[in-house]
Structure 1
Amino acid sequence: MDLRPTSELAEAAADLHGEPDVESTVQSVLEYAKALTGGDGVAVMFRQAGRPAVMSATSPEAAEADLVQIRCAEGPGLQAMCAGDAVLVDDVAADARWSSWSRPVSELGFQSVLSLGLGTHRSSIGALSVYSSKTHAFAAERAELARLYARHASVALVSARHESGLRQAMQARHTIGQAQGVLMERYGIDAEQAFAILRNSARDHGVKLSERAEQIVASRPADVG
């Protein structure tokens, strides 16, 4: 993917919004970030249950560089995630801000990093980090372009996660309704009673309501309890 600065930014944004799911959106975010910045590796972290986790990367080295941040609890990606803005490291080996992080990242072959916060005005969802084998790899114009791109990427990722969540919620609601129907027919009870049985059964089995509903829909009568 060979992109010229600014002229392809709108096309990148449109493509990101056209992806069918979160996984595809993440991969496109990585590919476009690498093309727009000229970086050697890109990784993306998301917040999961309040903790950062590496979701994907363009190379094992980029993934490891992000994992180093998580293990050391310091680094430009984590700072960008908290600040919701860009954090630039022109020379990893000479940067004194994150002493525990800089050496292992240098050993991975990366000499400069541009980390971009991902999220909305309401919340942060993660960070996108672009790694380069050269020092001072990200000129001011390139960094500004990356900031603009990060905004588009954030909207696309939030939208994809929202759509994915809605689809999962709709599917879970449908499955719960099916399970209620099975229980109503099986025991000659009404919908409210069927839901109470389903809820109690989920608690007894130590699973989510939707998971127990799936089990009941697929089970034989003797398996329910």
Structure 2
Amino acid sequence: MARVVHGLQALDADPDPVLVLLQGIGDVLVPAAADRCVVELFPREGRAGMRTEHGGDVAERLTPIFAPPARSATARRLVRRRDRVSVGFVTAGLAEPSSRGSVTCRWDDGHVPTEQEAELIQLVVDHCVLVLYRQRLAESLRSARLRAGTLQNGVRDTLQTGAAVGVLMARYGLSQERATDLLHRSALSGGRSMGETGETVLRTGELPGGIRPPAGP
């Protein structure tokens, strides 16, 4: 049990959520809770998936699989038979489509899995799915914050540009169209954005670089 807990703690820090499911589950369960473990993961319905095998005479092996997952493995359920324990799972979609998969554990020397062993495997799978959900949620929150920051900057630039156009109109007696064009040309010549140029106008009352509107109407 201590080895299982230690393995789960290591998974919490894994930066790759897919490997948490494909390889992390097997790393935790073999050999601490079972002799062999096969994990299948299908990121999208009908798409190619991946399969990992752990334990026995097989070094950890990661291979693509192209058959759709068995229907019995797509629901979150636990099946305990005489020679194996199988757990199906469905991950939360969030920003990505839901992933479906299964974990199958076996024992050598005719060992019959107990109910407690089956429940432990279910808990490990649930924990790994939760790690994936938490990582996806964190990614979604970061993306939302970035979008919010971009939107906030865009609104600020728009307000500064509009206010600067008003300053130019009042100071030089320009039409809105001419004031906007002047601000735009000033921004291009200085390699700055309209918002940055507008901020300078609001702060100093002048266009950057001493630019003045042409004489005449």
With normalisation by structure 1, the TM-score equals 0.47
Higher helix share: 1
With normalisation by structure 2, the TM-score equals 0.48
Larger RCO (alpha carbons 8 Å, 6+ apart): 1
Report the structure number with the largest CA radius of gyration: 2
